[in-house]
Amino acid sequence: MSALLCWAYPGCINTKKQMRDGTTSHIKNVPIGTCGLIVPWNFPVLLGMWKTAPALAAGNTVIFKPSEWTPLTFIRFADLLKEAGLPDGVFNLVLGDGKVGKEIVEHETIKKISFTGSIPTGKSIYSACAASLKRISLELGGKSPFIICENIDEDQAADWAVFASLFNQGEVCVAAPRLLIHHSIYESVKQKLLEKIDQLNIGDPLSSSVDLGPLISRSHTQQVEDYIIAGKKEGASLLTGGKRIKTTGNFLSPAVFENVTQEMSIVQEEIFGPVITLQSFMTDEEAVELANGTDYGLAAGILTENSKQASYFTDRLDCGIVWVNSYHTPYIEAPWGGIKASGIGRELGVQGFIISQSTSM
């Protein structure tokens, strides 16, 4: 009769393997238990599903807290789950502000926390989870670069730059507000970019003719305006925008800065709004240095017609996600997440499912 050796090995699908001494190694993944899932306000349904689906599929129960700014979508989702026959207690919706989130993070019966949000809150959650060795996933935003190489069409580059930096008013964790443009096409791309931004229609987001809607709140709009003021004080040149454009609502025209330096707050800190910085580069090495020159490491974009150049950048950029001649598209088959201050862990893909499990003998 052969022996059975059971291993607990995170990150493996259920497997059996014959060992050299004749024993059989059996690795089995099992549910973690109760998972606390905390999502921000900018994409409540999308980000909520990224966390909820793998957690439930792995056999866990869920405590879900949406942002206090955007609770309605998940109130409806909870109703739909009940109508679909999900047993009571499997998905639990809890509403409230950061104090409620703190209770979820610190509750002893919750075995895993998945959080998307700011770095300060993420650090606090990380510290709290360490006390009880809770499993944790953190996606903490970014300050992503968008590299425009010398061989790309300038008009196409300006179109992609607008989309990468201003989609959803720039209130996107992977938004690319740092435009790094090769010096040979810098002036041309800059002028085309300013022209395209000037043509954007800002107003009611429910209107099909509108390109940019309002920011999420009055307090957040003021925070973005404070960064614009700081950029000017630090010596950057404001080329356009940065002003309230309506008497009511949180509407802000996109701000574009040039003559920026790497240490400026508008380059280093996540603003989470329609503020763009322009920097030029001479060589690919310089572009990499500028791109990697922040604490963040979530995403990056590259526009180039040269496949070797694309490989050069993808091999050297310190981030979890790199788009080449594209931007913003998530694929459920591929892992999503960052490095450095942008967090730990992954969502989506096989990796996002596996980290919703534990292992057992």
Question: Does the annotation count 51 as an active-site position?
Answer: yes
Q: Cα-flanking dihedrals φ and ψ of residue 154, to 5°?
A: -65, -40
Q: Which of 35, 111, 134, 139 is catalytic?
A: 139
Closest CA to 60 of 103, 85, 82, 30: 30
Angle of helix 72-83 versus helix 44-57 axis, rounded to 10? 40
347 is catalytic: yes
Residue 246 known to be catalytic: no
How far is Cα 165 from Cα 179, in angstroms, rounded to an integer?
Answer: 8
Q: Label each residue of the chain as H, E or C.
A: CCCEEEECCCCCCCEEEECCCCCEEEEEEEECCEEEEECCCCCHHHHHHHHHHHHHHCCCEEEEECCCCCCHHHHHHHHHHHHCCCCCCCEEECCCCHHHHHHHHHCCCEEEEEEECCHHHHHHHHHHHHHHCCEEEEECCCCCEEEECCCCCHHHHHHHHHHHHHHHHHCCCCCCCEEEEECCCHHHHHHHHHHHHHCCCECCCCCCCCCECCCCCHHHHHHHHHHHHHHHHCCCEEEECCCECCCCCCCECCEEEECCCCCCHHHHCCCCCCEEEEEEECCHHHHHHHHCCCCCCCEEEEECCCHHHHHHHHHHCCCCEEEECCCCCCCCCCCECCCHHHEECCECHHHHHHCCEEEEC
| 28 in catalytic set | no
The residue from 154, 173, 192, 319 that is catalytic is: 173
Residue of 154, 171, 225, 347 with catalytic role: 347
CA angle in degrees (0–180, nearest 5) for 175-112-8: 115
One of 51, 65, 143, 192 is an active-site residue; which one? 51
Catalytic residues, by residue number, are 51, 139, 173, 347
